[in-house]
Amino acid sequence: MSNITAKLLTTALAATFATEALATEWNVSVWGSRRAFTEHVHKIAELVEEKTGGAFTMNISYGGLSKNTENLDGISIGAFEMAQFCAGYHQDKNRAITVLELPFLGVANLEEEVAVSHAVYAHPAVAEEMAQWNAKMLMTSPMPQYNLVGTGEPRDELAEFDGMRVRATGGLGRAFSAVGGVPTSVTSSEAFQAMESGVVDTVAFAQHAHLSFGTINEADWWTANLNPGTVNCPIVVNIDAYESLSEDERAALDSSVDEAIAHYLENYGALLKRWDDVLEERGVTKVEISDEELAKFRDVAGKPIHDEWIAQMSAQGLPAQELYDLVFSTLDSVRAAN
């Protein structure tokens, strides 16, 4: 009897160890703190675990694995399996997707931002460039148009941007440079300190970031309608880790993207609805810039910067015009469908 018991126990233990050996655990590198910008990461982790019965899980780390500006490097060496980064942090490493950070593209809402981002991510030139970093695009982190919070007197005329020290990266930085601003690309986590210490006069962020990183607490005013553009921040996975997934695990991950994005949009929509209350609570003046001044900004910092990007990227061997046209054809398709 004892032999039978011992055999049963051995079999049970072996089954347990086999199950544990087959379990897949991914580390995910993000930064800051949990906020609207990372809700889709949490949602996809929840969905994947649910669909695989707990066999595929994700550990989401806020800064514990890497600096935000080094997440793509971490993916390339397999330091972790999934990460979020923003194109403007290292434009030379992800040139193709910087088309999405050009100022004044005219993207009207988060749904359109998702559509143009995913269309560009699916382009072979993007896949090829990301593969150099052992990275595969998974989904975007859609953000609304950036706007400024600033200290001192409100700036509501283009001439007042001359000499303005602004935290802005990527295409936004180029846009403000074009009108005489002085951009700095301090990380989002450093933006509050830069504003508090007077290193910058203004900070360009989406609403969630002004809340999460505290810049709204230093602000005297907010530009409600400048809408110069936004930054593009993909979620990527390590190619080797992705290809090592079982067929069921890969299906669970891929099939969860749309639902994770839908959750993100719903959550962010709730934040946007209460934004005016946030401004009122903190005594921040809402600045509306006139159509005439906005037109001046677009003339200087819109198409000229687009043309410059196309010329520069084409000279580097990228299908720049094709990527640029893809943004606008996607917008046309989305709007026609609606």
Query: What pLDDT shows up at residue 19?
Result: 46
Across the range 56-65, mean pLDDT stands at 98
Residues whose CB is less than 8 angstroms from the CB of residue 8 and which lie 6 or more positions away in sequence, other chains included: none
pLDDT band at 3 (very low <50, low <70, confident <90, very high): low
Across the range 175-201, mean pLDDT stands at 92
Q: Which residue has the higher pLDDT, 119 or 184?
A: 119
- Distance between CA 135 and CA 267 in Å, rounded? 27
Across the range 302-313, mean pLDDT stands at 96
Segment among 70-74, 91-95, 211-215 with least mean pLDDT: 211-215
Compute the mean pLDDT over every residue in the chain, rounded to the nearest whole number. 92
Cα–Cα–Cα angle for 331, 138, 50, rounded to 5 degrees: 120
- Distance between CA 95 and CA 209 in Å, rounded? 24
Q: Is the pLDDT of residue 83 over 70?
A: yes
pLDDT band at 80 (very low <50, low <70, confident <90, very high): very high
Across the range 98-105, mean pLDDT stands at 95
Chain centroid to Cα 332, Å, comes to 23
Q: Is the pLDDT of residue 70 over 50?
A: yes
Fold topology of 24-141+231-271: D-Maltodextrin-Binding Protein; domain 2 (3.40.190)
Across the range 215-236, mean pLDDT stands at 94
Residues whose CB is less than 8 angstroms from the CB of residue 221 and which lie 6 or more positions away in sequence, other chains included: 149, 150, 154, 155, 284, 285, 286, 287
| Domains 24-141+231-271 and 147-230+276-337 equal at CATH topology level | yes
pTM for this entry: 0.85
Across the range 158-167, mean pLDDT stands at 94
Across the range 161-175, mean pLDDT stands at 91
Query: What pLDDT shows up at residue 8?
Result: 46
Query: What pLDDT shows up at residue 11?
Result: 52
Distances (CA, A) of 128 to 21, 70, 131: 33, 20, 5
What CATH superfamily is the domain 147-230+276-337? Bacterial extracellular solute-binding protein, family 7 (3.40.190.170)
- Identify any residues that bridge with 72 across adjacent strands, giving them in sequence order: none
Query: What pLDDT shows up at residue 102?
Result: 95
SS3 321: helix
Torsion angle, CA of 44/47/53/58, rounded to 10 degrees?
20
SS3 138: strand
Q: What is the pLDDT of residues 238-266, one digit of tens each?
A: 999 999 999 999 999 999 999 999 999 99
Across the range 14-39, mean pLDDT stands at 80
Distances (CA, A) of 92 to 67, 98, 130, 220: 18, 9, 12, 35
Across the range 47-70, mean pLDDT stands at 97
Across the range 2-23, mean pLDDT stands at 53
Please report, for the chain, the start and end positions of each structural domain, with discontinuous segments joined by +: 24-141+231-271, 147-230+276-337
